[in-house]
Amino acid sequence: MNSRYEVVIGLEVHVQLTTKTKIFCGCSIEFGQSPNSQTCPVCLGLPGALPVLNQQVVEDAIKAGLATNCQIAPHSIFARKNYFYPDLPKGYQISQFELPICEHGWMDIETEELGKKRVGITRIHMEEDAGKLLHNESNSSSVDLNRACTPLLEVVSEPDMRSSEEAIAYLKQLHQIVVYLGICDGNLDEGSFRCDANVSIRPWGQKELGTRAELKNLNSFRFIKQAIEYEVERQIDVIEDGGEVVQETRLFDPDAGVSRSMRSKEEAHDYRYFPDPDLLPLQVSADWVERVRSVLPELPLVKLQRYQDEMDLPAYDAGVLSAERPVAEYFEGLVALYNNPKVCSNWVMGEVLGALKEKNLEIIDCPVSPELLAGVLQRIDDKTISGKIAKTVFEEIWQSGKNADQVIEEKGLKQVSDSGAIEAIVDEVIAANPGPVAEYHAGKEKLMGFFVGQVMKASKGKANPGMANQLLKKKLAG
């Protein structure tokens, strides 16, 4: 980033909720259905149709507000935002303007470049989405109103971010939180989490904000970063050439890596908001807020800290295990059955996530449940199998769905702890390796690892490694 200017970024994120139905009518919000098949008089904006608020949307908004340290307004109202566009059937969008449901929140983010930072959240409000415009080859456009009236939360940050890295850190954390809360599927490709960025620059030390440009159509973290960096360079060029940045909306084109002005939207900024007479004011009681608070899941940052403090896990492990709620739930399920967090962490991060990645599966579809995996770990503890054989057992369980005991029994994987049997193998190994034995006697004690390896190999991994070690030491000394 240019050292002569400070970059100032504020973000507006549209979070599409995972309710079954739309915000003001009972139509489905399922993605990818035939155009206009999920519509009714309310979302088509037909005269006389009355919107009725989906209570789940309010619950979800309260959850998002609590998870981002907002104050939940006891009294909030819906407003009409008036403008004309072909994807907006009523000629206004129902949104919240004055008195949104959540205000004055914050989130702590961290970047390598600038360290820890608290980003203010100005407000979170509920609103309906517009329909979708399909651009044809021909001289017309097509309108699909399935998406019209889909419930959205708009999360507006303070202009607190100072680099594209901070913007991305904020977005990733917000994304993680709404997915954790189960209120958004987080699918960027399908538009479930969309971002507009307000970007301006100012000379270092200047208090007033520079004129900002609003960047739209940012639907991947990579594009957001590109778009912000492009915009910063563009504004620096404008100013250094003696020009002035104009306040405008710009559309980022990821293919070309550039943005262009959307002059068409400029005049529309007079939205003439007023309270929607079709919708009654919303009252959220303190009881309601507390009820929602009591069912909030533990949030990723809290888990991250708890895994380190209470389970003594390294920061890296805690980060991997807490990043996604299903992984955290699998891990915690395992720890509940096998109380050694570090061992559990090693297995989840190693075998479980590795195998899932290889097979391109999600953890909720993992064939080895925490119960089945705990069974394997217990057999290591009671020395029925070695840690190495345990990996074979894990793979067998993955394939067959049988439990550890069944697999160990059927495949004959039980560890050999019979000293007579191991002693015979030890004798064989010593007899077969006169060279290493001589070197060992000459002081190269590191070769013990080699001998143990040979014994394990000869026993197909089933010899108890501790006993093999002991017997080898005794025999080689004698």
Partner 1 sequence: MKISQKDVEHVARLARLTVAPEELEALTGQMDAILGYVDKLNELDTEGIEAMAHAVPMSNAFREDELKPAIGIERALQNAPVAGDECFTVPKVIE
Q: Are strands 102-111 and 115-128 parallel, antiparallel or unpaired?
A: antiparallel
Q: Shortest gap between Cβ of 84 and partner 1 (angstroms)?
A: 6
Residue 19 lies near partner 1 (rule: CB under 8 A): yes
Nearest C-alpha neighbor of 52 from the set 192, 146, 149: 149
Residue 219 lies near partner 1 (rule: CB under 8 A): no
- How many angstroms separate the CA atoms of 452 and 429, rounded? 9
Among 257, 281, 314, 354, binds partner 1 (CB under 8 A): 281
The per-residue DSSP string of 268-305 comes to: GG----EE-TTS--EE--HHHHHHHHHTPPPPHHHHHH
CB closer to partner 1, 38 vs 464: 38
Stretch that binds partner 1, among 18-26, 227-235, 375-383, 422-430 (CB under 8 A): 18-26
Site string for partner 1, 388-427 (x = CB under 8 A): ----------------------------------------
Side-chain half-sphere CA neighbours of 410 within 13 A: 11
Q: Shortest gap between Cβ of 211 and partner 1 (angstroms)?
A: 22
Largest Cα separation within the chain, whole Å, is 99
Give buried/exposed letters for 426-438 (b at 16+ CB in 10 A, else e). beebbeebeebbe
Q: What is the CA radius of gyration of the chain?
A: 30
Nearest C-alpha neighbor of 370 from the set 343, 401, 332: 332
Residue 115 lies near partner 1 (rule: CB under 8 A): no
Stretch that binds partner 1, among 20-28, 231-239, 369-377, 388-396 (CB under 8 A): 20-28
Q: Are strands 151-157 and 248-253 parallel, antiparallel or unpaired?
A: unpaired
Q: How close are the terminal C-alpha atoms of the chain, in Å?
A: 70
Site string for partner 1, 78-107 (x = CB under 8 A): ----x-x-x------------x--------
Are 425 and 467 a contacting pair, CB within 8 Å? Answer: no
Residue 141 lies near partner 1 (rule: CB under 8 A): yes
Residue 258 lies near partner 1 (rule: CB under 8 A): no
Among 12, 14, 31, 56, binds partner 1 (CB under 8 A): 56
Q: Shortest gap between Cβ of 75 and partner 1 (angstroms)?
A: 8
Which residues of this chain interact with partner 1, rule CB under 8 A?
A: 19-21, 25-28, 34-41, 44, 46, 52-58, 77, 82, 84, 86, 99, 133-135, 138-145, 251, 262, 264, 267, 270, 272, 275, 277, 279-283
